[in-house]
A and B are shown apart, each in its own frame.
Chain A
Amino acid sequence: MDPNSPTFIFLNAFLINNFVLAMFLGLCPFLGVSGKIKTAGNMGLAVTFVMLVSSICAFGLNILLTRYDLEFLRLISYIAVIASAVQLVEMAVKRFSPALFRALGIFLPLITTNCAILGLALFQTAREYTFVQSLAFALGAGAGFTLALLLMAGLREKLDLADVPSVARGAALSLMIAGLLSLAFMGFAGLGG
């Protein structure tokens, strides 16, 4: 498959170089919000949406900054755009679906400090993706984040009933599961090659 085709970029961000399990982006919500499947799914959707919005904004912004030789402002303007995108999403969700707004709670504003989103904008700039490629990249990354979150939440719901030695309880156990998931995802390495 052509490595520059949108399909491959989507698959690459979704499975082969999964944002959470292979690139360690967005670990805080990954460990924090993965207690229940339902919350994990909602969180994944919200993050995917913010990723799409900020990917589009970052694409436009980069053209503007390059045109006026202001690349050193890239980081500052990206983070400002992401923060406003999150604010916008928050207002929209509050206006159109109060139920979803309540379900997401504090995690909605916290998306601003999710490094997966800034990482997405930075990687897309560094790899010089076109507009369609950026969209595929954002969708793939969001889907990959949601998948990792759902898998983790499913495993942790089951593990609630398991008898774990006291030293390994809590964060250490979550990290070991994440490590095993990450091992499993390495199996996707040859996909589409």
Chain B
Amino acid sequence: MSTKEPEAMTLETFTQGLWKDNPVFVMLLGLCPTLAVTNSAMNALAMGLATTFVLIASGFLVSLLRNVIPKQVRIASYIIIIATFVTMADYGIKAISLDLYKALGAFIQLIVVNCIILGRAEAYASKQTPVKSMINGAGMGFGFTLALLSLGVVREILGSGTLFGIQIMPDRFQTWSVFVLPPGGFFVLAGWLMLFTWLRERKSKQEAL
């Protein structure tokens, strides 16, 4: 780590969460919101951005307070910090768009128990400087948003024939309503995981040749 250039390290801190350690596809964290709110691309985007906000803000505060918080009560303190920012995000979304707030329901408040955020606070922000924690949080957040979007887009196109509410499939297209229902979430995520496993296997085979 210490041998690399500072800029490269910053970039790596950011991209790590985006692709290599993608919270959903690689680490399989935070699956509850991933599956529950991705029945349309818009919901997925809003949920992803709300989580990103909480990740960045809590990363900053946890890192700032990392020398003040006693070790024994750190998890409880992290959860209180996270809950504070989630409450802010909750009221923020309610003020910006009431329809979106109703569509996401209790899942905005459930960001508190999203293991990605507590995991980042414990594994990264409690050991690094505030700026780096924020960059890492942003990377993880955008990785999470990307994953949510890739599920939301597939489910909305197949399940309702639309994308962000605009119809893109021809009128004759018979919608597969199972994809906007709960089972569809499981199937689409399984599909993406298989695709990534297949890509990884093909890459390692090519390297072996």
For the side of the interface on A, what is the size category?
35 or more
B151–chain A nearest beta-carbon distance, Å: 12
- Kindly state the separation between the CA atoms of A76 and B87 in the bound complex, as whole angstroms: 8
Stretch at the interface among A21-29, A139-147, A154-162: A21-29
B182 in complex: contacting residue of A21, A80, A169, CB < 8 Å: A21
Interface string of A97-117 (1 = CB under 8 A from B): 000000000000000111100
Tell me, yes or no, whether B134 is within 8 Å of chain A by CB: no
What B residues does A166 contact at CB under 8 A?
A: 197, 201
Query: What number of A-B contacts does a CB cutoff of 8 Å give?
Result: 111
Interchain CB contact (< 8 A) of A172 among B87, B178, B181, B193: B193
Check A80–B32 contact: CB distance below 8 A: no
Also in contact, A119 and B87, with CB within 8 A (given A80-B80, A186-B181)? no
Q: Is B106 within 8 A of A179, CB to CB?
A: no
Set of chain A residues within 8 Å of B11, measured between Cβ atoms: none
The yes or no answer to B164 lying at the interface (CB within 8 A) is no
Distance, CA A180 to CA B114, complexed state (A): 25
How many Å lie between the Cα of A72 and that of B94 in the bound state?
A: 13
Hey, which chain A residues are within 8 Å of B86, CB to CB?
75
Contact A76 B197 (CB under 8 A): no
Which of A79, A167, A176, A178 is in CB contact (< 8 Å) with B201? A167
Residues 108-139 (chain A) with a chain B CB within 8 angstroms: 112-115, 118-119, 122-123, 126
Residue B62 interfacial (CB < 8 Å): no
Report A-chain residues with C-beta under 8 Å of the C-beta of B33.
Answer: 24
What residues on A are CB-neighbors of B187 within 8 Å? 175-176, 179
Size of chain B's interface in residues, with CB distance under 8 A? 41
Establish whether residues B31 and A28, one from each chain, have CB atoms under 8 Å apart when the complex forms: yes
Q: Is the CB of B182 within 8 A of A113?
A: no
Shortest beta-carbon distance from B114 to chain A in Å: 8
* Interface membership of chain B positions 66-83, coded 1 if the CB is closer than 8 angstroms to chain A and 0 otherwise: 000000000010011001
Neighbouring A residues of B32 by C-beta, 8 Å: 24-28, 115
CB-defined contacts of B36 to chain A, threshold 8 Å = 23-25
**Does B185 lie at the interface of the complex (its beta carbon under 8 Å from any beta carbon of A)?**
yes
Interface positions of B from 67 to 113, Cβ below 8 Å from A:
76, 79-80, 83-84, 86-87, 90-91, 105-106, 109-110, 112-113
CB-defined interface of A46-73 with B at 8 Å, one 1/0 digit per residue?
0000000000000000000000000010
Task: Determine if B115 and A113 form an interchain contact, defined as CB atoms under 8 angstroms apart.
Answer: yes
Q: What residue in chain A is nearest B187 (Cβ atoms)?
A: A179
CB distance from B11 to the nearest CB of A (A): 29
Contact B182–A182 (Cβ < 8 Å): yes
CA of A118 to CA of B185, assembled, Å: 22
Chain B residues, Cβ within 8 Å of A88: none
Q: Which residue of chain B has its CB nearest to the CB of A178?
A: B186
A179 partner, pick from B113, B190, B198, beta carbons under 8 A: B190
Q: Is B158 an interface residue (CB 8 A)?
A: no
Assuming A76-B83, A171-B193, A186-B183, is B112 touching A118 (CB within 8 A)? yes
A183 at the interface (CB under 8 A from B): yes
0/1 interface trace, chain B 165-209, chain A, CB 8 Å (1 if under) = 000000000000010011111110111011001100100000000
Are the CB atoms of B83 and A27 closer together than 8 Å?
Answer: no
| A45 touches B (CB below 8 Å) | no
Q: What 5 A-B pairs are tightest by C-beta distance, nearest first?
A: A179-B186, A175-B190, A24-B36, A172-B193, A182-B183
Q: A28-B29, A115-B113, A171-B193 are in contact. List 4 more A-B contacts (CB 8 A).
A: A28-B115, A72-B87, A173-B190, A176-B186
26 pairs, A vs B, C-beta closer than 8 Å: A24-B33, A24-B35, A24-B36, A24-B182, A27-B31, A72-B91, A80-B76, A80-B80, A115-B32, A115-B113, A119-B106, A167-B197, A167-B201, A168-B194, A170-B197, A171-B28, A172-B194, A175-B187, A176-B190, A179-B184, A179-B190, A182-B182, A182-B183, A182-B186, A183-B178, A183-B183
